[in-house]
């Protein structure tokens, strides 16, 4: 008979996420994860699989949280307001000490985890779902008449996503909050938002 789990999987994922986020995928060993979580390797393997599978479980949870947060912000009274609030929400995440940590997904893309099994597919799927939400918000704005009828939701969203990725990468370099806020404002103005 199997012994019951003696740890909270969500707590393990949170602690392991911090290790991966701080050290990067390649530099993180399972010894690092066991030290941070207090869970031994056999129990980690039994619950999550190997290092790649653990990281994928962390990404799944992280992406779900980001998508839920996007839903909350984009559900503003107007599409224009939702899109502006969503983009401005990246200011504290892309500057200061938090910004130096970067985005877990973007860190995986630009550093060292993209070739791990399942990682690229998860990031692509997250980006696809986020893109859908943003396009839908833009289309709502066009239908409601708050955005012009010739407004291009798909092109606008590509610019927003590219800008957001740039914000997060720039944050790794200790981006200046004032300049970053100005860049966000100029981007929203340029896009007609």
Q: What is the DSSP string of 145-160?
A: TSS-TT--HHHHHHHH
Region 8-18: mean pLDDT is 92
Lowest-pLDDT choice from 100-104, 114-118, 189-193: 114-118
pTM of the entire predicted model: 0.90
* Cα–Cα distance for residue pair 135/76, rounded to 1 Å: 15
| pLDDT at site 4 | 47
The answer to whether the CB of 63 falls within 8 A of the CB of 126 is yes
The residue extents of the domains of the chain are 59-190
For 17-35, how does the pLDDT look when each residue is reduced to its tens digit (9 = 90+)? Answer: 999 999 988 899 999 999 9
Region 6-18: mean pLDDT is 90
Element holding 31 (H helix, E strand)? helix 30-37
Q: Has residue 5 got a pLDDT over 70?
A: no
Lowest-pLDDT choice from 108-112, 126-130, 156-160: 108-112
Residue 1's pLDDT band (cuts 50, 70, 90): very low
| pLDDT at site 3 | 54
The answer to whether the CB of 76 falls within 8 A of the CB of 45 is no
For 131-169, how does the pLDDT look when each residue is reduced to its tens digit (9 = 90+)? Answer: 999 999 999 999 999 999 999 999 999 999 999 999 999
For 44-68, how does the pLDDT look when each residue is reduced to its tens digit (9 = 90+)? Answer: 888 898 899 999 999 999 999 999 9
Judged by DSSP in three states, 58 sits in helix
Q: Tokens 């000490």 label which residue?
A: 97
CATH number of this structure's domain 59-190, picked from the four choices 3.40.50.300, 3.10.180.10, 3.90.180.10, 1.10.357.10: 1.10.357.10
Q: 38 Cβ partners below 8 Å, 6+ apart?
A: 7
């Amino acid at each position: 008979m199997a012994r019951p789990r003696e740890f909270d999987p969500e707590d393990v994922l949170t602690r392991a996420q911090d290790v991966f986020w701080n050290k990067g995928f390649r530099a993180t060993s399972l010894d690092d994860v066991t030290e941070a979580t207090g869970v031994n390797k056999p129990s980690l393997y039994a619950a999550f699989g190997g290092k790649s599978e653990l990281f994928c479980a962390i990404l799944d949870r992280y992406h779900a949280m980001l998508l839920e947060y996007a839903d909350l912000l984009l559900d503003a009274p107007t599409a224009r307001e939702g899109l502006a609030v969503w983009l401005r929400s990246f200011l504290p995440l892309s500057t200061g000490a938090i910004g130096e940590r970067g985005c877990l997904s973007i860190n995986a893309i630009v550093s060292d985890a993209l070739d791990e099994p399942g990682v690229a597919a998860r990031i692509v799927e997250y980006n696809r779902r986020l893109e859908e939400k943003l396009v839908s918000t833009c289309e709502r704005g066009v239908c409601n008449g708050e955005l012009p009828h010739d407004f291009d939701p798909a092109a606008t969203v590509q610019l927003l996503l590219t800008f957001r990725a740039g914000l997060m990468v720039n944050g790794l370099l200790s981006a200046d909050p004032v300049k970053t806020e100005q860049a966000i404002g100029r981007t929203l103005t340029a896009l007609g938002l």
